[in-house]
Chains A and B, each alone.
Chain A
Amino acid sequence: MSKNSNSFIAPMSGSKIFLQQVLALLEKDLKTEWRTREIFTSMFVFAVLVVVVFNFAIGADPELIRQVASGVIWIALSFASVLGLQRTGRMESEEDSLQGVLLALHDRSALFIAKMLAQMLYLLMVVICILPLCGIWFRIDFLACIGELCLAFTLGMLGLSIVGTLFGMIALHTRAREVMLPLLFLPVSIPLTIAAVQATAQLIDGKSLRDIADYLVLIGIFDVVFFVLALIVFDYIVEE
């Protein structure tokens, strides 16, 4: 069993099978989701609700709203991410399909990577749908800095997915899993939230990529550190 934990540094022949397994798992998850689309819908609706409620809570001053827009979007994304993970977790435990999948896998971290990519795709879809709405409601022109925004959002959501999937799998085994997931996920991802909000806010203000380079580096380091950590500890999460 412990041999599998070092398989992610296996030679090339092993990595081809690895890639195939990741893609197969990803395809299975996406196909299931495409049939009902319930995870994406609930994430998107919840994100929209968060944005709208914040809008009312902050008040009518358009300048103020423009300043906090970045924070509101990222809060909406964090909470939507928690929601998506909870639904994924519930579906997994209802079907109890995890054990079968784990037995079939050559290297267990394939499951982690597949789940993480799935979560990231859901988040990307939510972002694509919600940015135009925010542009209209907050009167922000996102198209002016769309390239840099894409980079910032992709890096940020990668981080959210990595940490989220990791804690999602941990929370799956606890009794009060609805409570444990946000309790674990939100504090640990604070550096990501801080950097992502600042990067987005400055991009909206018209700063260039060079100005936000610090934040992007922080997010990048966060992503790399947690990805490596997740791969190392994943075996300990799923072993019985």
Chain B
Amino acid sequence: MQNFWYVFIAYCTIWTALCMYMIRLSQKNKELQTELRDLRIQLERILTK
């Protein structure tokens, strides 16, 4: 049990990094989807004018 801290830090790092990356990806995805939707609406509005 003497090297417990190394294992702990290693697993913490892995999980934090992966979770942060996943969260960042899904946030970016949501942002892009909203932007896409807005732009599409804008384009339709311009075309129907």
Q: Do chains A and B touch in the complex (CB under 8 A)?
A: no
Chain B positions within 8 Å of A, measured between CB atoms, are none
Chain A positions within 8 Å of B, measured between CB atoms, are none
